[in-house]
Amino acid sequence: MTGPGVAGQETGAYGAIPRKEDARFVRGQGTFVDDISLPGMLHGAILRSPLAHARIISVDASAALAHPKVEAVLTGADLAGRGLAWMPTLSADVQAVLATDKVRFQGQEVAFVVAQDRYAARDALELIAVEYEPLPPLIDARTALAQDAPLVRDDVPGRADNRVFDWNAGDKTATDAVFATAEVRVGCDMVYPRSHPAPLETCGIVAASDAVTGRLTVWSTSQAPHAHRTLYSVITGLPEHKIRIVSPDIGGGFGSKVPVYPGYLCAIVASMITGRPVKWVEDRSENLMSTAFARDYHMHGEIAATADGRILGVRARVLADHGAFNATAQPAKYPAGFFHIFTGSYDLQAAFCEVTGVYTNKAPGGVAYSCSFRVTEAVYLVERLVDLLARELGMDPAQLRMRNLLRPEQFPYTCPTGWQYDSGDYPRAFALALDLAGYQGLRREQAERRARGEYMGIGISFFTEGVGAGPRAHMDILGLGMADGADLRVHPTGKVVLAISVQTQGQGHETTFAQLVAHELGLTPDDVEVVHGDTDRTPFGLGTYGSRSTPVSGAAAVLAARKVRDRARLVAAATLELSPDDLEWLDGKWRVRGDPDRGAGIAEIAMAAHSSLELPDGVEGHLDASAVYNPPNLTFPFGAYICVTDVDPATGEVTVRRFIAVDDCGVRINPMIVEGQVHRGLADGIGMALMQAIAFDENGNCLGGSFMDYLLPTALECPSPELGATVTPSPHHPVGAKGIGESATVGSPPAVVNSVVDALAPFGVRHADMPLTPANVWRAIQGRPVRPDLAVS
Amino acid sequence: MQVPAQVEYERAGSVEHALTLLARYGPAARVLAGGHSLIPMMKLRLVQPEVLIDINGITDLCYINLTGAQLRIGALTRHAQLLESSVAGEHFAILHDAERVIADPIVRNWGTVGGSLCQADPSEDLSAAFAAMKGTMIIHGPDGSREVSAREFHAGPYETVVGPSELLTEIRLPIRPGGGSGYRKVSRRAGDWPVGAAGAAVWLDGDVITDAGIGLTAVGATHFAAAEAEDFLRGRTATPQTLARAGEIAAENCRPVSDQRGPADYKRHLACELTTRVLGVAVARARGLMA
Amino acid sequence: MKVTLTVNGTEYARDVEPRLLLIHLLRDELGLTGSHWGCDTSNCGACVVWLDDTPVKSCTVLAVMADGHRVLTVEGLANGASLDPVQQGFAHCHGLQCGFCTPGMMLTARWLLNNNPHPSSYQVREAISGQVCRCTGYENIVKAVLWAAEYEAGG
């Protein structure tokens, strides 16, 4: 940790301790879904549509069924017979499980083969004959609302166009008034291209249906096992208490493992039909072409300011491409997620945004790819606009930002679109980032290099996120309020088992949550075992995404621990024959006021609670406690990022030379893990800004269907990050933590793009859309930018 | 994970054995060397050979040596071996430049030089490097061996002149004094195929270019070469202007196609830019001004 | 067809289809699930194991090609209860998060250090550049490998 502000924080059980989960992982002893093998297990494979839009004339699986190793084939008609051909999405739409009438995107699920081994299942796909009648596909989102656009969702009665929703936020009248009188207005069209979270482990499931007990056990790559259980119950009609979801070790999720996918349901149905466990694990092409994408926002943003650089307002019009089904995983009342946090970190007078969602013949999704529900798009928009404004005004972009950042005394701050930011000291974080970067020196270097014909860019991004959804009154998925539980069991010897509703996919919950509880109870993290990812063993909650584990479930764990501590006080008082008021919690023990050598720790108290001691009122027999945390508000982490790039204008190659990141995520439980999360997000930002994008050709063929075409950054593109920290605790979180899982993914892309555009300023480049591949950079210099969502021409 | 279709498998212990097997199975067979192009294509079921003839056991096709005024590279030489070969680097900096940016270190451990050439991907790097060096391929068949110039080796995208009963066994590069060479690639990311790449070799007599070789890949250059630019260079003084003009000529004679790596106009521009740059590197090396 | 190979010092003989990929032999036939796979196109490196003395992408090697050869997987990195310094480095430096790429990364790291005991951070980055990590941004993987190098040098 290079920045100030964290001194004295690493007390108690907090601090940069190694992770508990690593012992198994470094030995290759993790258990991922595809590692699970059950006796008699069968293997599923999905036949997918090669076409983006077509009517299905016929599906003939007879040859596949005749394959000696094939046990079953499911088609859309088979599922329709069971009422399972369609399933609800997480956004009040339906999605085909296996297509019955039409296919609506390339890669859509058409049939499911179940065979004795994975090779035979794959072979059998080639034996299924599907006759398609090709239909004109709708590929360009910008034509989706045209009169003559192909209708994607003719399955919905009465639907006459491709509009998914119209939604807005802010005060249009006030915003227009601000713009009408502003001295300076700058606008820009920008695309946040379709991206894919692409965790290294693809999605998969092992479904085991037991006809005798009526139980269904599912091991699956799920970031939200409890929500999946409820959804499976609703879809299949199985009683919820007969369903157990186990989410074992998960090889990264980043939002992509929140939804329920057709392959999961197919495996479940196949297990019911065959009476045997069925495994289905998608291959990488299936992952990239069919599971949930992210972003795909076509944005027009405008910013208004005074001539001396006082930002007054922002407004935006957005066209959101939702693909063939609206399967966005985000709170139901927010069709555009939290996009309307797009006023960013600035003190301005008015803001207004309109978002129109449209259907196209592309894969469904719209998940929060480490982005806390569209905050990534919002931050990109406003941070690009601020840089454009700086260019227009001839002001240094750092100076312009510093001038307009919210001031500490404005918190809690209600932004023009209604979010109440909980806490922050933005100028302090920004000043630290500028200092770490040596900003003035960088600007001098840039000038010297430009004089030599070398193009170096300095890009700044200052972001504010809103993470940790609920509160449940405003935020729900499928009617399930976004609150999370924690159960704490205290064994007689004082060892503790914490069961949580959230699920690690690499974030280190087994360590951080042990630290949270140990810190409250005067234990060491080794005294606390964390159980997660098994609905039979954990309390209900909505899972891990939107950076909500520490803000929500972490708070529940702390509250449960505090209940334990309060109960322990009663027991300790009984053992010491004192009043509870005579005791105070000090240095991890209940101690006698004025006589701190007398007292008891949790281990002694736990044993007493289980002993023959006559227990006081309020203690039934042990110290166990539960809590459900319904957050009063989101938490609002923020940060200041600076990216230094070198651009070769003749080839268009971009090198990220430095990345400085100052994050304020409130109190840090385990700073090592926090920094690791930041490292990941910075790489994500480099990936999205420079290479990651999924485009489609005019026929709807996915052009990013493998890792040869959907490029992820390697160690050679990612510089060694330079991190700093400030700590502004959240006033409403029990320990002041805010969440960090997505900050860097949100904050880093605009820093990279701003840096490249800054480098290209001498060529007159104002903006260039991601991904800034060499070709796109060169084309931007030529004044003929490449459209990132369509095939290159 | 995607998996190949069923296939038979034969292991060849010698070149003769491989030729016998190739004769037996004919076009239904594919030679399996490192497999790093072939096996992914089989997994994606873009190719479905009936038989694989594994030549990895023919270890005497794994070599890099100097024979007279030639560098000889066995077809089964792994990319990593070529990158590590000091004799190759000493005479042909272009090979080390190219190998450093071919795929990634792990793929280079197992992928082979001959396999890359025979895959004949129009974006393959070594094809351009060998075209620049005007190498010769040795192809063994049932009637003995034949030599084919590097510029006649490719019959089109993913096609070579190696017949179904033949085996590429060796690449020969002539060593001529007074030369320098280099290779430069632009890709979207480390390990990616080139958006465009150029290799060049020049031979100088004083400041006069006595001969030049230019190889281009991924930009639609005929036979991975820029013959017109080479003709232009011969006999001219190696000035920046001359090299830049050669780059322009190279670009004028390319027929790049647009794809997700880049639009055709950009690739044509790259052909010019990279040819010019790499000629500069080659000249600097020929003059001993650069490692 | 019959294949015999030595994995982590133990000889195994299996009858397999020629098309069986080495990664599936290891995972499905031998139960060594520490090696993973993450793509179909030999881009991600989650499947990296050693074939004889070099790391390879085992999703792109047929099991029959390993006949008569030695294979080292993550399960063979530790010497009994004693972790390889590379394993220690990954845990010590937070060189992993989800743990999915980790086995392949560690096997490449071990190979690098065997051939270059004192790599620069750039050389570490280059060595792992054919392997994708989606969690760490690579920074702590690099630190982990450098930590192991220093540890082995007695530092």
Q: Could you read off the pLDDT of C31-72 as tens digits, one per residue? A: 999 999 999 999 999 999 999 999 999 999 999 999 999 999
| C64 and C89 together in one domain | no
- Are B239 and B262 a contacting pair, CB within 8 Å? no
Residue contacts between A and C (CB atoms, under 8 Å): 173
Q: What are phi and psi of A620, to 5 degrees?
A: -85, -25
**Average pLDDT score over residue span A453-469:** 97
CA distance linking residue A140 with residue A130, whole number of Å: 27
Residue A793 has a pLDDT of 85
Whether the CB of B32 is below 8 Å from some CB of chain C: the reply is: yes
Whether the CB of B222 is below 8 Å from some CB of chain C: the reply is: no
Percent share of chain A, pLDDT over 70: 99
Rounded mean pLDDT of chain A?
Answer: 96
Residue A4 has a pLDDT of 31
| Chain A, window 200-239: residues with a beta carbon less than 8 angstroms from a chain C beta carbon | 200-202
Contacts 24+ apart (CB under 8 A), C26-31: C26/C58, C26/C71, C26/C73, C27/A34, C27/A35, C28/A37, C29/C63, C31/A37
Three-state secondary-structure class, residue B139 = strand
Whether the CB of C94 is below 8 Å from some CB of chain A: the reply is: yes
**Average pLDDT score over residue span A487-507:** 96
| C57 and C102 together in one domain | no
**Average pLDDT score over residue span A63-92:** 97
Å between A164 CA and nearest CA of chain B = 29
Q: How far is CA A323 from CA A295, A306, A372, A500, A505, in A?
A: 11, 40, 20, 34, 26
| Listed residue (A182, A385, A201, A191) closest to A298, CA to CA | A191
Is ipTM strictly over 0.95? yes
- Residue of C18, C56, C57 with shortest CB distance to B52: C18
Percent share of chain A, pLDDT over 90: 96
| C66 and C24 together in one domain | yes
- Residue of A251, A672, A708 with shortest CB distance to C41: A708
Query: What residues have CB less than 8 Å from C115, skipping those under 6 apart?
Result: none
Beta carbons of C129 and B6 less than 8 Å apart: no
Residue A5, pLDDT above cutoff 70: no
- Residue of B36, B43, B52 with shortest CB distance to C40: B43
Which domains does chain B show, CATH number per domain?
A: 8-54 (3.30.43.10), 59-174 (3.30.465.10), 179-285 (3.30.390.50)
**Average pLDDT score over residue span A697-723:** 97
Residues of C in contact with A684 (CB under 8 A): 137
Cis peptide, bond prior to residue A771, ω within 30 of zero = yes
> Domain ends where: C53, C76, C99?
C76
DSSP category for residue A567: H
Range of the domain at C26: 2-76
Three-state secondary-structure class, residue C42 = coil
For strands A311-321 and A350-358, give the pairing.
parallel
Q: Over the stretch A325-351, which tens digit does the pLDDT of each residue have?
A: 999 988 999 999 999 999 999 999 999
- Residue of C46, C91, C100 with shortest CB distance to A22: C91
Query: What residues have CB less than 8 Å from B171, skipping those under 6 apart?
Result: B72, B73, B75, B113, B114, B117, B130, B135, B136, B137, B138, B150
| Listed residue (A456, A449, A299, A320) closest to A382, CA to CA | A299
Which stretches of chain B score pLDDT less than 70?
A: none
Beta carbons of C99 and A672 less than 8 Å apart: no
Burial class, A147, CB count within 10 angstroms (exposed 0-12 / middle 13-18 / buried 19+):
exposed
Give the dihedral of Cα atoms A112, A113, A116, A118; nearest 10 deg.
Answer: -70
Query: Which residues face A163 on adjacent strands?
Result: A358
> Domain ends where: C76, C97, C119?
C76
| C65 and C17 together in one domain | yes
| C92 and C69 together in one domain | no
- The nearest alpha carbon in chain C to A25 belongs to C99
More confident residue, C7 or A10: C7
Residue A415, pLDDT above cutoff 70: yes
| C65 and C118 together in one domain | no
Q: Over the stretch A548-568, which tens digit does the pLDDT of each residue have?
A: 999 999 999 999 999 999 999
CA distance linking residue A362 with residue A138, whole number of Å: 8
| C90 and C39 together in one domain | no
| Chain C, window 52-111: residues with a beta carbon less than 8 angstroms from a chain B beta carbon | 54-57, 59-62, 64-65, 108
- Residue of B42, B54, B80 with shortest CB distance to C65: B54
Å between C127 CA and nearest CA of chain B = 6
Residue A470 has a pLDDT of 87
**What is the pLDDT confidence band of residue A7, given thresholds at 50, 70 and 90?**
very low
Q: Residue A551: how many CB atoms within 10 A of its CB?
A: 31
- Residue of C21, C45, C61 with shortest CB distance to B3: C21
Å between B206 CA and nearest CA of chain C = 38
Residue A695 has a pLDDT of 97
Residue A3 has a pLDDT of 33
Query: What residues have CB less than 8 Å from B17, skipping those under 6 apart?
Result: none
| C56 and C111 together in one domain | no
- Are A135 and A53 a contacting pair, CB within 8 Å? yes
Å between A685 CA and nearest CA of chain C = 10
Beta carbons of C27 and A35 less than 8 Å apart: yes
Q: Over the stretch B18-55, which tens digit does the pLDDT of each residue have?
A: 999 999 999 999 999 999 999 999 999 999 999 999 99
Total number of domains in chain C: 2
Å between A651 CA and nearest CA of chain B = 7
**Average pLDDT score over residue span A139-157:** 97
Q: What are phi and psi of B183, to 5 degrees?
A: -145, 140
> Domain ends where: C76, C101, C124?
C76
Q: How far is CA B253 from CA B128, B217, B220, in A?
A: 15, 13, 9
Residue A10 has a pLDDT of 42
CA distance linking residue B125 with residue B145, whole number of Å: 25
Cis peptide, bond prior to residue A470, ω within 30 of zero = yes
Domain CATH for C58: 3.10.20.30
- The nearest alpha carbon in chain C to B11 belongs to C65
Beta carbons of C37 and B4 less than 8 Å apart: no
Residue A11 has a pLDDT of 62
3-state helix, strand and coil shares in percent for chain B, rounded to the nearest 5: 40, 30, 30
Residue A367 has a pLDDT of 86
Residue A576 has a pLDDT of 95
Q: Over the stretch B161-198, which tens digit does the pLDDT of each residue have?
A: 999 999 999 999 999 998 999 999 999 999 999 999 99
- Residue of A123, A716, A793 with shortest CB distance to B258: A793
Residue C25, pLDDT above cutoff 60: yes
Mutate to test the interface with B, among A67, A118, A126, A651 (most CBs of B within 10 A): A651
Residue A372 has a pLDDT of 84
| C36 and C90 together in one domain | no
Which domains does chain A show, CATH number per domain?
A: 33-135+202-250+257-290 (3.90.1170.50), 294-469+633-782 (3.30.365.10), 483-629 (3.30.365.10)
Three-state secondary-structure class, residue A741 = coil
Whether the CB of A30 is below 8 Å from some CB of chain C: the reply is: yes
Å between C21 CA and nearest CA of chain A = 10
Domain CATH for C111: 1.10.150.120
Residue A6 has a pLDDT of 36
Residues of B in contact with A126 (CB under 8 A): 5, 45
| C148 and C114 together in one domain | yes
| C89 and C71 together in one domain | no
| Listed residue (A208, A213, A211, A203) closest to A271, CA to CA | A208
Q: Over the stretch A181-234, which tens digit does the pLDDT of each residue have?
A: 999 999 999 999 999 999 999 999 999 999 999 999 999 999 999 999 999 999
| C110 and C132 together in one domain | yes
Q: Over the stretch A615-668, which tens digit does the pLDDT of each residue have?
A: 999 899 899 999 999 999 999 999 999 999 999 999 999 999 999 999 999 999
